[in-house]
Amino acid sequence: MREPWSTYAAPVWLPGGQAQTVWPALFSRTAAARYGITWRRERWDAPDGDFIDVDHIDALAGVGGGAPPLVVLFHGLEGSSSSHYSRALAHACVQRGWALTLPHFRGCSGEINRAPRAYHSGDWAEIDWILRRIRSAHAGRMYALGVSLGGNALLRWAQEAGNAASAFVDAVGAVSAPLDLAAGGAALSKGFNRMVYTRMFLRTLRPKALAMVRRHPGMADARAIAQAQDLHAFDDAFTAPIHGFRDADDYWRRASAKPGLARIRVPALVLNARNDPFMPAGVLPSAGEIAPHVWLEQPATGGHVGFARGRLPGVVDWLPGRFLHFFNHGI
């Protein structure tokens, strides 16, 4: 078991967890657009008759004609292949000659899904069939990286898969994962977090949920969804009941990845900034709570999926570089 450490430190011109979260998300998006990334999209049929849209960055054959390494990226809450971290990772993969696949969670690719389900922080069964399908078509090294919600769900998959995980991926990574959903939900219900982040999430979550209820009458309480003013109320009204949880508290307890980190049997890098506004530092895991295969990295700075570096206005290449180095070298 390894003690948390990191080589990352935020630039002096970007102080505090809030700025380190907001600045990369807003201002690096313009820079990321200049990467000129072109995704190739496929639509896959899901086991329940629904569909997901999957975006790819293809790579040339590797040295000796073999398959290049492949990274599978699971995005965060209401994220997509247009998210700043997706573009930054795509750029890093292109530079290294690696391939990248980004499966969109249900309803996140620009079109509402058909089935009466969405996605959630503990959606490890969804990740399981996706990774199985990708593995069956890829003969080379394969890694999975999850961002925020996607990171928690990926870690839950690794926990449930146990020893079998290594049959599908060579390593996994999670950045800014809400490992304790109750603590993260409480943090997002207060002050600036509630006014900015929660409002931003609900701006898209509520309309999509209401559209699904109109398509599948009776699946959830439309009035409660419309009135939800924080993530606990939204998850209580929508996420929990449609995915088989008793209520939001039951969902948050059963979906949190932190209690099962000792069950992971595949190499894993779990990266959380200690000033992440979404996740209080006091609830982050310690070396005594993880398996020998898990590497904790908890820099003092970085914010939530931020980790900008360099001179103003900064770049966001540290994060993809860190995970690709871990995947390639195991450290």
The DSSP annotation for 205-261 comes to HHHHHHHHHHHSTTSS-HHHHHH--SHHHHIIIIIHHHTT-SSHHHHHHHH-SGGGG
Q: How far apart are CA 285 and CA 174, in angstroms?
A: 13
Q: Active site residue: 6, 83, 109, 148, which one?
A: 148
Q: Residue 204 sits in which domain range? A: 181-255
The three-class DSSP label of residue 95 is helix
With respect to residue 268, please indicate whether it lies within any of the assigned structural domains. Answer: yes
Query: Hey, which residues does 14 pair with through a beta bridge?
Result: none
**Residue 36: per-residue pLDDT:** 76
User: What is the reported pLDDT for 34?
Assistant: 60
> What is the DSSP code string of 115-134?
SS----TT-HHHHHHHHHHH
Same domain? 203 vs 84? no
190 shares its domain with 299: no
Tell whether omega for the bond before 299 is within 30 degrees of 0, i.e. cis. Answer: no
237, two tokens: 């009204």
Domain's final residue, options 192, 225, 255: 255
Tokens 């960055």 sit at which residue?
A: 57
Burial class (CB in 10 A: 0-12, 13-18, 19+), 212: buried
Single-letter code of the amino acid located at 135: R
**pLDDT in the model for residue 29:** 52
Q: What string of pLDDT tens digits covers the 331 residues of the chain?
A: 455 668 899 999 999 999 999 999 888 655 545 667 899 999 999 999 999 999 999 986 555 568 899 999 999 999 999 999 999 999 999 999 999 999 999 999 999 999 999 999 999 999 999 999 999 999 999 999 999 999 999 999 999 999 999 999 999 999 999 999 999 999 999 999 999 999 999 999 999 999 999 999 999 999 999 999 999 999 999 999 999 999 999 999 999 999 999 999 999 999 999 999 999 999 999 999 999 999 999 999 999 999 999 999 999 999 999 999 999 999 8
Asked if residue 181 lies in contact with residue 144, where contact means CB atoms within 8 angstroms, the answer is no
Strands 40-45 and 51-57: antiparallel
The neighbouring-strand residues paired with 271 are 175, 297
208 and 144 within one domain: no
Other C-beta atoms within 10 Å of 36: how many? Answer: 8
The Cα–Cα gap between 222 and 301 comes to: 40
Q: What are the structure tokens assigned to 71, written together? A: 């990274």
Taking the CA atoms of residue 252, residue 255, residue 256 and residue 257 in that order, the dihedral angle to the nearest 10 degrees is: 180
Distance CA 40, CA 29 (A): 20
Tell me whether residue 212 is in a domain.
yes
2 inside domain:
no
pLDDT score of 220: 97
pLDDT at 27: 80
**Beta strand segments in the chain, E:** 40-45, 51-57, 70-74, 99-103, 142-147, 171-175, 268-271, 294-297
Question: Does the active-site annotation cover 6?
Answer: no
- The pLDDT score that the predictor gives to residue 37 is 86
Among 55, 123, 235, 276, the one annotated catalytic: 276
Tell me, what CATH number does 80's domain have? 3.40.50.1820
Spot the catalytic one: 56, 123, 304, 317. 304
Q: Using CA atoms, how far apart are residues 282 and 323, in angstroms rounded to an integer? A: 24
pLDDT computed for residue 66 by the predictor: 80
The whole-number pLDDT of residue 314 equals 92
Residues 237 and 269 reside in one and the same domain? no
- Of 232, 255, 278, the residue that ends a domain is 255
Q: Is 304 a catalytic residue?
A: yes
Cβ 72 vs Cβ 143: under 8 Å: yes
Does some domain include residue 12? no
- 65 & 205 share domain: no
- pTM to 2 decimals? 0.96
Q: Residues 171, 127: one domain?
A: yes
How many domains is the chain partitioned into structurally? 2
pLDDT at 28: 62
Are residue 134 and residue 283 in the same domain, yes or no? yes
Residues 149, 75 within the same domain: yes
Rounded-to-integer distance, Cα 213 and Cα 220, Å: 6
